[in-house]
Structures are given as structure tokens and as C-alpha cells.
Amino acid sequence: MKRHKEVWVIAFPMLLTGISTPILGMVDTAVVGHLPEPYFLGAIAIGAMIFNLIFWAMGFLRMSTTGLTAQASGTHNSIESIHILLRGLIIALFLGVVFILLQYPLSSIIFSFIDVGSEIIEPAKLYFDIRIWAAPATLATYVLLGWFLGREKPIINLMIVLCINAINIILDVLFVVVFGWEVEGVAWATLIAEYLGLVFGLFLLFRYVSFPAVNITSLFQLESFKKYLSINLNIFLRTLFLIACFSFFTLQGAKYGPVILAANAVLMNFQTFIAYALDSLAHAAEVLVGKTLFSKDKKALKSVLFATVLWSFIVALLFSIFYLFLGGSG
């Protein structure tokens, strides 16, 4: 019973954090869906798919940071914990700048694979050209979220994500409904929200965390960066294949026109609900497994795995029942 409680102390705030993201996607869909032409929603679906592919593939920044931070916390090594955070931020900002510098060849390559009409491609490219500038903030926020989670502070994660999503929703309505900026307004709303969310996250970091003296030599050890990146490789490949499936679904739907593409965008929001809900239990497993790693307590490790797998099955079953009986309503 104690282990189940430990799982949900971490998982429940992360569940709220996770489902707020697809809710944001639904708000984007609702706001753009009220525009006169369906191809606007199709353009948002294509744009969101592209950034899902780019940013979700970088999700290893959060997951690796969580695991390494949990291990450092398990050994009460506060200095190494700070080093992990700083290394993650350095890598995130570097990758974010690389995406911005390579945005034009990246855009050309990506859109060469997308077979839809010009009425969708043009606003989708506009969305891409604006939102790509959010890359440094998005990736740095991934690291912050992973680090706070590894320190068992999921409530701070919830605060950061709710801040980003609340700002995004408000700006969506302001830019699209009030100012009439259409797809461009959605992109600007996301860009501004990501940077303000990062600022808020850094504020919470300096507000609630005491920083020990940083050893610059230890921080920039090549072996430490190699360890961080080597852990990330398998996670990166796993995420890449996962997102490829969702992207394939969106691209195939695009071949049938803007109406089917828009309908599939709505369906994908519901699918994302399940994914983020189950991710909350994966986050709990990352933290608890990381803490038990150095204790070499096999019994504790098995109890963590049993509890998280059991609750993952229950949550997935509840979603399946909900969609089965209410999926055709409306």
C-alpha cells in the first residue's frame, strides 16, 4: 500500500500536468476550427505534427535528466544534481540554437515529404517559421521539468506547465479571435508562452532551490557529457519511432483533403490524452527506480515496477471503457 501511495504522490500531479497539454491542443483546435475554412485547422495539424516530431524527439532531455537527478538525489549528492541540471541546459540551448540556424534547410526537407494542397502548405510553413524560434525555450523547459521531477517536486512541474498553457490559451483567443491573425496568431501564442514559461520556471528554480558552489572543471567533464548523451540515444530512437507512427497517420489523412485532415487532428488530441495520462506513471517509475538503483534492493525495485505496471493497466482500461461508451456521443 505504501508503494502505491508513493507512485501516486508523483503520478497525480504529473497526470494533471500531462492532460493539460492535450487540453491546450483542443483549445487550439476549437479556436482555429471557428475560422471560415477547414484548411486552417489542417495547417495547424501539419504544423503541430512537425513540432511533435522535432520536440518530442528531444524528449530525452527531460527523461534522462529525471533519471540522473533521481540517482544523484538517492545518494544525496546535491552538487552532482546541480551539475546534471546545468549540463542539460547547456545541451538544450545548444540544440535549440542549432534548430534556429538550420530552420530553412530543415523546413525545405520536411515540407518536401508533405503531399497536401498549397492552401494548407502555405499557412503551415508560416506556423513553422514562427514557432521554430521557441526551440531554445522549449528544450530548456524540458530539462527543468525533468530536473524538478527527479528531485520529487512534481507540483512545481504542474505550476510551470499550467503557466505555459494558460498564457497560450489566453493569447490564442486574443490573437486569433480578437486580432484575426489566424494560423499566425496560434504560432505567436505558443512562442510567447514557451519563453514566459521558461522565465517562470527559472524564477521557481532560484526561489526554491539552494545552489551549492559549482565546480567548473567537474561540470564540463567530457565523460559526464558522454554519459548524459549515451543514455539519451536509446530514448531518442524509441521516441523517434513512436512519433513516426503518429506522423504517418497525419500525413496519410492529409492526402484525403482538409476535412479528413482536420477530423484526424481532433482524433489525435484524444489519443494524446491517453499517452500523457500513462506518461504520468512512467514519470513515477523513473523517479522511484532511480532512487532504488544504488541501494541494490531488488525487492523495492520489483514493488515499484509492479505498482506502476498495475496502475498503467487500470488507467488504460478506464480510458478504453470511457471511449467505448462515449466515443460516439455528439
Q: Which of 75-84, 195-204, 315-324 has the highest mean pLDDT?
A: 195-204
CB 276 within 8 A of CB 22: yes
CA distance 239 to 157: 21
Average pLDDT of the residues of the chain: 81
Average pLDDT for 220-245: 73
For the segment 21-35, the average pLDDT, to the nearest whole number, is: 68
pLDDT at 101: 96
Amino acid 13: pLDDT: 80
Angle between helices 39-51 and 182-208 (to 10 degrees): 40
The reported pLDDT for the residue numbered 25 is 60
Prediction pTM value: 0.80
Q: What CA–CA distance (Å, rounded) separates 196 from 120? A: 29
Q: What is the mean pLDDT of residues 165-189?
A: 90
Vertex 282, ends 7 and 285: CA angle to 5°?
50
Concatenated DSSP letters for 105-147? HHHHHHHHT----HHHHHHHHHHHHHHGGGHHHHHHHHHHHHH
Q: For the chain, what are the domain ranges? A: 2-326
pLDDT digits (tens, 9 = 90+) for 99-140: 999 999 999 988 887 777 777 888 889 999 999 999 999 999
Concatenated DSSP letters for 170-218?
HHHIIIIIIS--HHHHHHHHHHHHHHHHHHHHHHHHHHH-PPPPP-HHH
pLDDT of 292: 75
The crossing angle, in degrees rounded to 10, of helices 118-131 and 103-112 is 150
Question: 279: which residues sit within 8 A by CB, 6+ positions away?
Answer: 14, 18
Q: What pLDDT does residue 329 have?
A: 55
The whole-number pLDDT of residue 67 equals 81
